[in-house]
Every structure is written in structure tokens, then in C-alpha cells.
Amino acid sequence: MIPSSVAVVAMVLLLGASALALFVWAWRRGQFDHLDEQSRAVFDARDPRIERPWESEAQRRERERAHGPPLPAQPGEWGGAA
Amino acid sequence: MSAAPADARREEIAIRASADASSRAPVLVFFATAVAWLLFGSLAGELASLALHWPDLLGFASFLTFGRIRTAHLNAMIYGWASLAMCGVSLWMIPRLVHQQLSWPRLAMAGAALWNVGLVIGIGGILAGRNDGLEWLEMDRALADPWLVAGGACVGIPLLATLARRTVDHLYVSVWYVIGAFLWFPVLFLVGNWPFGGVESAAVNWFYAHNALGLWLTAVNVGAAYYFIPKVLGRPVYSYQLSLLGFWTLAFFYALNGMHHLIGGPLPTWMITTSIVASVLMIIPVVAVAVNHHMTVVGRFAALRYSPTLRFVVIGAMAYTAVSLQGMFTALREVNRITHFTQWTIAHSHVGVYGFVTFVLFGSMYYVLPRLAGREWPSARLIQWHFWLSLGGIGLYVVALTVVGVLQGLVLLEPSAPFQRSVEVTIPGLYARSLAGLVLGAGHLLFALHCAALLRAPARRAMPALLEARPVVVRDAGAVQEPAS
């Protein structure tokens, strides 16, 4: 039975070891530091300021407080049709 | 962010515009060919479905027999539609996220061409009766697979080169998922195609097939969801820590999963049990992703009415949670003894590859294509039709096959019941599946026509500003109007 499993066991160990190596590299390079700041890496400066028509008044005010005066959403802004 | 100097914002816009411009041609080629394979795969799937309840319908042509057309459907959907669209989404996202132009875009274009040649040879070969006989690896390993390996390398190398030349230190979680997928998949594909024999062949086959789902299809599409949900909502993911936890637990645990497909097979019990334990451990990344996506959207579900991107991606993310939890329970021996060898498995795989993967890819393309084409989608109504046909079709498909799958499994466990009865109980579900396939196919046709209309539109809209970077207009002191992202 064991010989029939060698290839899979070896591959699982290889993938696990490569994931571990990548994890250590990421840790040493500071990839897990300042996570709150890093979570905003997906945005351009404009993104958080665009008006979202679905937001409540309170959510709108919160956005304005955090990011400044809103920018009007443009046609098709959300991936839809004009 | 609002206080950022206007110069910095202009520079940021210029970087994004150049990243988009660098990936435009290859992404469009990948998307266009992906949609073509989506249409072919839909037709093949429908014919395969019809053959199950009208077995004599297509018997006049050998290439239309179930064994060939069903296999052609699977390969067209996994390697044609999903993989090509995922390459397109990856080539678009990575340059944006690492603030760098795509390296060697022509090599990526060549990758699209090579991959498609491999698909034509492989799927054509399947229809002609050449089949390697391994699940998810049916395409000819000598004639077709080398083209896919070369094509995949031509996409992966530009992505890795772009990553190496990045101008940001930190890698956003989507980058981890996408780059991880492009590192894992070549290894899996090469090992999966290695000509092992006997029982080892079955073990390696399911090691490949399940990891192709978890470390290729899942990785890229979870990465895409982590990009598009925050982007549309304008708020960061609920917990960035959870997003990283999800990625790293997937990376560490997923590779062990595949053996649960061989419960009852001639493999060592410890191996199957280890796989079941690993499958249950998947609850960590699944719950991490589910909680994160839900909490990011919570309070803003009304946004789904406005954004087709968000609507498709959020439904896709929900399906990811559903299919993963379902998979965990299906891996348990007590559940598996009922569901194994039944239509349940077909329903389960479609929740994953359609409800999750395809929905996320549709949502991504609704966001990306207008920005590459420089013009907006022509019709909101067509998007609505596409969404509801897709959701209705997959809903009918999954419910019908899940129900008859359980009934089939229960009959198979009944010692006194003739085998014929286990087939008869599935027939209503098989008819429902053919109907669902028609509905899904109609949605795909609308989507393809809409894509063609978008790309062939003769003139740009008067105000296409959100779709492209344009000069920044300074209104007054400190107020800067930027183009949409």
C-alpha cells in the first residue's frame, strides 16, 4: 500500500514546504506588519471619496469625515451600463 | 487620503493608466477566447445532458456520444472558459496592485495563442476519441498538454516578472492568491500528467483534480473577490488579518484534500483519513473568507442593486462558502457513503465551478472590460437578463441534481432494490438539468453578444471618463477631480 502513496505524499510535502518557505520569506520581509494600512492598498486616492448612492446618510457622513469631500460617481461607475 | 497632494494623485493615476494600458491587449484576447469557449462548453454540456435522458438522440455521430461530449464540456469549461478568463483577470489585477506595467505583454499574448492551440488539439482529440482516461486530465498528454504548459508559462513569466519589478513593498492579499495559483498550477499539472500506473495513478489523479480546483480555480477567484468587493464598496476588507489567515491556511492544508474522492478505494486508510481531516480543516480558510466578505458587505447590501460587478462577485463569494462547507461534509465517510457515485457530486461541482468561479469571473469582466474598451456596457437590461438567467439556471440545476442525488444514493444503499431503480429516480432531475442548461446557455449567449457589442461599439460615449485616465482638472485651490479608477 505504501508504495502506491509515495508520489502523493512527496508532492504534499513539497507543496507544504514551499508554502512554509514563502511564509518565512513574507514574515522576514515585513509582509505582516501594518496590516490596517495594507488593507487599503487596493484603493486609489479617489476610490473612498466617490459618492455611493446606496449608502445611508450616516454612512455618507462617515465617509466624508474619513476621506474628505465626496466626488460624484460617474456613469457606469460600478461596472454597470450607463 | 483627501489631503494627499495633487501631484501624488496625478502620479498615482498615471501609474494606474499605464498599468491598464500595458495589459489591455492580452487581457482582451484572453477574455474574447474565454467567452468563445464558454459558448462551446455550454453547447457541449447541454448535448451531454440531453444524452442522459434521450440516449438515442445523438447516437448517429460518435463525437456526440456522452463519453466524448461530456468530457469536451468539462475541459472546455475548466481549461477554456475559466482558466483563460482567470488569466485575463490576473493579468489585469497584478500590474494595478503592484503599481507597475505588465512585463512582456506580447509574451502573454503568445501564451493565449499557445493555450488555445492546445485546447483545440486536446478537445478536438477528445471528440475524435483520444482520451488519456484521467479525470480532469483527458486531453492528450503528448499532443495537447505541451501547448498548455508552454502557454501557461508565457502567462506566468510576465506575471512573475511584473511582480519582481513592483514599486510597492507590500503584497495585497489578492496578489498572494494569484501568484500562489500561478506557482502551484504548473507543478500540479506536470505531476498530474506524469504517467503513473495502477493505484498510484488514481491517487495522483485526485491529488491533481482536487488541487486544480482549490489551488488554481479557487485561489485566483478568491483573490479577485478580495479585489472587487472592497473596490466597488470603497471600504477595505473587514479584517485584513483574516484575509491573510485564509490564504496561508489554504496554502498549508489544501494539498492534502484530494484523497477523500477515493473513500472506499484501494488506498491506505491513514491516507484517506488524513485527507478527510484536512478537508474538515478547510473550515478555517472558508470561514475566514466568508466572515470577511460578509462583514465587508454588511450594511451595504443595497449596493448589489447598483453594481453588476458586486452582484455577481458577492453571489460567487456566497457560493464559495456553500460549496466549501458542502465539500467538507461530503468528505465525511457517513455522508460520502450516500452521495458517492450519484448526481449529488455533479451538483456540488457546479456550485463550485459555476456558482463560485463563473460568477466571480462574470463580475470581474463587468468591471474590467469597460475600462479596457474605453466605453460603457451598452445595455443595463442585458446585464439584468444575464444575471437572472445565470442565477435561475444554476439554482434549478443544483437543487434538482442535489435532490435526485440523495434519492439515488439511498436507493443504491438499499440491498433489495434493483439498480434500475437508482437510475429511474434521477430522471426528473436529468430533465430539470437540461432545462437549466438551456437557461444558462441563453444567459451565456446574451453575455457574449453584449461583450461583442461593447467591443464593437463605433464611438465612445460623450462622457466615458470613468473608464479611462484623463487629464486631472483642478477646479479650485486644493480640489482635484480625478478620473475613475
Average pLDDT over residues B335-355: 96
pLDDT value for B13: 81
pLDDT value for B376: 87
pLDDT value for B473: 35
Of A52, A69, A75, the CB nearest to B376: A75
pLDDT value for A73: 82
A4 interaction partners in chain B (CB closer than 8 Å)? 198-200, 203, 266-268
Interface test with A, best of B306, B368, B371, B472 (most A CBs within 10 A): B306
Chain B, window 360-379: residues with a beta carbon less than 8 angstroms from a chain A beta carbon: 363, 366-367, 370, 376-379
Average pLDDT over residues A26-32: 94
Please, which pLDDT band fits residue B5 given cuts at 50, 70 and 90?
low
- Residues of chain B with pLDDT > 90: what percent? 81
Identify whether B205 is part of a domain: no
Return the minimum-mean-pLDDT range out of B178-182, B277-281, B313-317.
Answer: B277-281
For chain A, say whether B385 makes contact (Cβ under 8 Å): no
- Does B474 have pLDDT greater than 60? no
Nearest-neighbour CA in chain B from A58: distance (Å): 11
Identify whether B288 is part of a domain: yes
Closest chain A residue to the Cα of B366, Cα to Cα: A79
A46 interaction partners in chain B (CB closer than 8 Å)? 9, 482-485
Burial of residue B133 (CB within 10 Å: 0-12, 13-18, 19+) is exposed
ipTM: 0.92
Closest chain A residue to the Cα of B304, Cα to Cα: A54
Closest chain B residue to the Cα of A70, Cα to Cα: B2
The pTM for the full model equals: 0.92
The strand pairing partners of B273, in sequence order, are: none
CB contact under 8 A, A8 and B203: yes
Please, which pLDDT band fits residue B460 given cuts at 50, 70 and 90?
low
Identify whether B173 is part of a domain: no
Nearest-neighbour CA in chain A from B103: distance (Å): 20
Return the minimum-mean-pLDDT range out of A21-35, B118-132, B386-400, B467-481.
Answer: B467-481
For chain A, say whether B468 makes contact (Cβ under 8 Å): no
Please, which pLDDT band fits residue B459 given cuts at 50, 70 and 90?
low
pLDDT value for B7: 76
Q: How far is CA B427 from the centre of its chain?
A: 29
Identify whether B6 is part of a domain: no
Task: Name the domain count of chain B.
Answer: 1
pLDDT digits (tens, 9 = 90+) for B136-153: 999 999 999 999 999 999
Identify whether B68 is part of a domain: no
Per the structure, the complete domain to which residue B256 belongs is given by 245-485
Nearest-neighbour CA in chain A from B20: distance (Å): 14
Interface test with A, best of B228, B235, B254, B468 (most A CBs within 10 A): B235
Average pLDDT over residues B309-315: 96
Identify whether B387 is part of a domain: yes
pLDDT digits (tens, 9 = 90+) for B96-126: 999 999 999 999 999 999 999 999 999 999 9
Distance in angstroms (rounded) separating the CA atoms of residues A5 and B311: 43
Q: CA dihedral defined by B329, B85, B16, B178, rounded to 10 degrees?
A: 40
Nearest-neighbour CA in chain A from B132: distance (Å): 19
- Does A11 have pLDDT greater than 60? yes
Distance in angstroms (rounded) separating the CA atoms of residues B79 and B149: 12
Nearest-neighbour CA in chain A from B328: distance (Å): 19
CB contact under 8 A, B267 and A59: no
- Does A82 have pLDDT greater than 60? no
CB contact under 8 A, B244 and A67: no
Most confident of A64-73, B207-216, B371-380: B207-216
Of A52, A67, A79, the CB nearest to B2: A67
Cα–Cα distance list, B27 to B245, B285, B341, B479 (Å): 30, 29, 39, 34
- Does B251 have pLDDT greater than 60? yes
CB contact under 8 A, A35 and B466: no
pLDDT value for B286: 94
Of A15, A26, A31, the CB nearest to B255: A15
pLDDT value for B464: 32
CB contact under 8 A, A76 and B467: yes
Distance in angstroms (rounded) separating the CA atoms of residues B365 and B32: 11
Q: Which of B481, B96, B367, B9 is closest to A77 using CA atoms?
A: B367
pLDDT digits (tens, 9 = 90+) for B18-67: 999 999 999 999 999 999 999 999 999 999 999 999 998 888 999 999 99
Residue B351 belongs to a domain with what CATH number?
Answer: 1.20.210.10
Identify whether B183 is part of a domain: no
Identify whether B475 is part of a domain: yes
| Mean pLDDT score across all residues of chain B | 91
Distance in angstroms (rounded) separating the CA atoms of residues B459 and A63: 36
Distance in angstroms (rounded) separating the CA atoms of residues B221 and B103: 22
Considering only residues B9 and A36, tell me which one the structure prediction assigns the higher pLDDT.
Answer: A36
pLDDT digits (tens, 9 = 90+) for B429-443: 999 999 999 999 999
Alpha helices in B260-307 (DSSP H): 269-281, 283-297, 303-306
pLDDT value for B92: 97
pLDDT value for A6: 85
How many A-B residue pairs are in contact by the CB < 8 A criterion? Answer: 198
